A and B are shown apart, each in its own frame.
Chain A
Amino acid sequence: MRKSLKAALSEPKVVLAGGFILLLLIAAVFAPWLAPKDPLEQDLMLGTLPPTGYEGTEPGYWLGTDDLGRDVLSRLIHGSRTALIVAFVAAGLAALLGTMLGLLAGWYRGWVDVVISRLVDIWMAFPPVLLSILLVAVLGSGVHSVIAAIVIIDWTRFCRVVRSETMAQAQMDYVTAAQTIGFPKARILFSEILPNVAPVIVALLSLEMGIAVIVEAILSFVGLSVSSDTPTWGGMIAQGRAIIYQGWWVLVAPLVLLFLTVLAFNQLGDGLRRALDPMMRR
């Protein structure tokens, strides 16, 4: 465990991307104290102020204001809350569900494997966009639906990989040894095989968080995520798109942050995969 942590921290991608996500996490947790202004406070006298460095700015509004005079920086900081909640909860639950089913299918084989693998095949034959349209139509809008939709659509990513990884681990000598000693089957799976599958899961989890952030941004962009009085990056982007000729920064600021966040999750996943995989390390 300590060894893998050390390996992960010696990978520059992990340090850079992980550091960025850590900063974002701090911003999200301490948003009310860190945000310079109230993200909901409107002041039409201070509408569409440009960011610092442009003409006609007002001190204290670093990234300018939107058409209702709300501070863009404060809204970005508060918006990171929804983005990260969805990223962690949705990706975490998808990983949990997919990992459980993948472990069972890969370890017990037989009819368990047949049932789970067929389910995954059928699931993946359904295009994600169709499924999400149907799901949001059925579940209604809101952050719970967004999370549910991501979990229902993306658990298969984890299941497939964990299943094949479990099957590979089951061939290893340490598993045979554990069986010879007489460990119960379930115990071998959870205390011997699972720790060895964990690095793959962690790397996939990071990629899935990036996907979840984009999906949440898309759904709040079209107004199907949280209610419109909660600041979200997607909601800010939609507003910026509408007033693009008056205030481009209302679109560009959340877009850049969204891009950096997704990039960070992708790079973190890539770096973790390199650092934690003994084959890649060599």
Chain B
Amino acid sequence: MPLILLSALNRIALAAVTLFGVAVVVFVLLRVVPGDPIAMMISPGSTPEQIAQMRANYGLDGSILSQFWIWLKAILLGDFGTSISLRRNVLELLAERLPATLELAVAALVFAVLLGGAIAIIGTLVRRTFLEPVLDTVNGTILAVPDFVWALALISVFGVFFPVFPLSGRVDPSVQNDFFTYFYLIESLLTLRLSAIVDISSHMIMPVLALGLPLAAIIARVLKEALLEAMVQDYILLAKLKGKSNLRLIMQEALRNAIGPTVALTGVQFTFLIGGTVIVERIFAYPGIGNMAIDAVINRDLPLIQGLVLVFGALFILINLGVDLLVAAFNPRLRHA
């Protein structure tokens, strides 16, 4: 079997094991929470027999292992239970909110890669000029500010002093009426609904900036480092002797060899970015799963918390898996073995 396939299978198996580990942790932690789940459901005046019956219905009279088995089967079948505070099926809620978060996170990632890449390339071009320390200082400052502070600073500037963007929500009620999916941005892009595209984008600009700016600064720093290292290699010198311009050297030669570590780092940082959506969605009242997670914790809505943590966990594991496979694909040693 080719090495790359073997290592891919290995990683997929590892991801499955990790996901199982997350499920175990969630199961255990949520049983540590004070409070009997049945006590919250029974109606006043129930007889002890009725309570015991209810316990049996939910499989709570068995051993902890059999409880775990029942719970795991339900999760695997997509039965996440009913949200206590919202009184709705948890899986439905997640299906409605997850697309909003995914659109936001991916938009922020794309923005960060483009901006970070541009800063790194410009930084390499202006090496040893007065512009380099300026660029490095700007980059360092962007990096020093966490997404929470970025989000609020953006709100102050573009919400109050230059009120150009809407401060909260995902789409204006006047636009939102007939979407078929919950991927509003993608759907309106595909159906070319210009007014919807403009409205949704203007809602997304500030959260995307808050999430993407710190990541862009990290990408810029690492990619620039790798580019500078690549630029002193022999093959670059050879290409330079052939008369290629610096920009061409970077774009055609150095970038390809420098991109590996940046991809790996961006993947890890992307999971942090998704973690950041929790508070950034809150600040912009953006209806994603992060914002819902905070309400779920405030309301101690255990079924919903459980569903959210599992979805976040699965998301993180899938991203890590994707990055691993991507890095392996970029690695020539694995490719030719």
Contacts and interface: CB of A to CB of B under 8 A. Distances in A.
Interface string A116-153: 00000010011111100110111001000000000000
A170 to B, nearest CB: 30
Interface in A209-232: 214, 217-218, 221-224
Contacts of B1: none
A244 interface: yes
A54 to B, nearest CB: 13
A243 B156 CA distance: 11
Contact of B300 (A137, A217, A244, A266): A137
A125 B271 CA distance: 11
Q: Of B156, B272, B283, B297, which is in contact with the most chain A CB atoms at under 10 Å from its CB? A: B297
Q: Of A122, A133, A223, which is in contact with the most chain B CB atoms at under 10 Å from its CB? A: A133
Contacts of B167: 244
Given A127-B316, A244-B160, A218 B279 contact: yes
B152 A241 contact: yes
Q: Which bucket holds chain B's interface residue count?
A: 35 or more
Contacts of B251: none
Interface in B77-111: none
B278 A241 contact: no
A224 B25 contact: no
Interface stretch (B140-148, B200-208, B222-230): B140-148
B144 A263 contact: yes
Contacts of A128: 275
A258 interface: yes
Contacts of A222: 279, 282, 294, 298
A252 interface: yes
A129 B293 CA distance: 10
For the residues of A in contact with B, the DSSP-based class is helix
A275 interface: no
Contacts of A134: 25-26, 29-30, 305, 309
B302 A137 contact: yes
A14 interface: no
Contact of A129 (B26, B152, B278, B302): B278
B279 A223 contact: no
Contacts, number: 96
B313 interface: yes
Interface in B250-291: 271-272, 274-276, 278-279, 282-283
Contact of B149 (A141, A224, A248, A255): A255
B291 to A, nearest CB: 10
Contacts of B26: 134
Contact of A127 (B160, B271, B293, B297): B271
A126 B25 contact: yes
Nearest to B295: A222
B149 A259 contact: yes
B186 to A, nearest CB: 25
A193 interface: no
A33 interface: no
Contact of B29 (A138, A223, A245, A255): A138
A241 B279 CA distance: 13
A38 B282 CA distance: 30
A248 B156 contact: yes
B159 interface: yes
Contacts of B300: 137
Q: Of A134, A217, A252, A255, which is in contact with the most chain B CB atoms at under 10 Å from its CB? A: A134
A237 interface: yes
A266 B33 contact: no
10 contacts: A129-B312, A133-B278, A134-B305, A137-B302, A137-B305, A218-B148, A237-B152, A248-B161, A251-B152, A255-B149
Interface of A: 122, 125-130, 133-134, 136-138, 141, 214, 217-218, 221-224, 237, 241, 244-245, 248, 251-252, 255, 258-259, 262-263, 266
Interface of B: 18, 21-22, 25-26, 29-30, 32-33, 144-146, 148-149, 152-153, 155-156, 159-161, 167, 271-272, 274-276, 278-279, 282-283, 293-294, 296-298, 300, 302, 305, 308-309, 312-313, 316
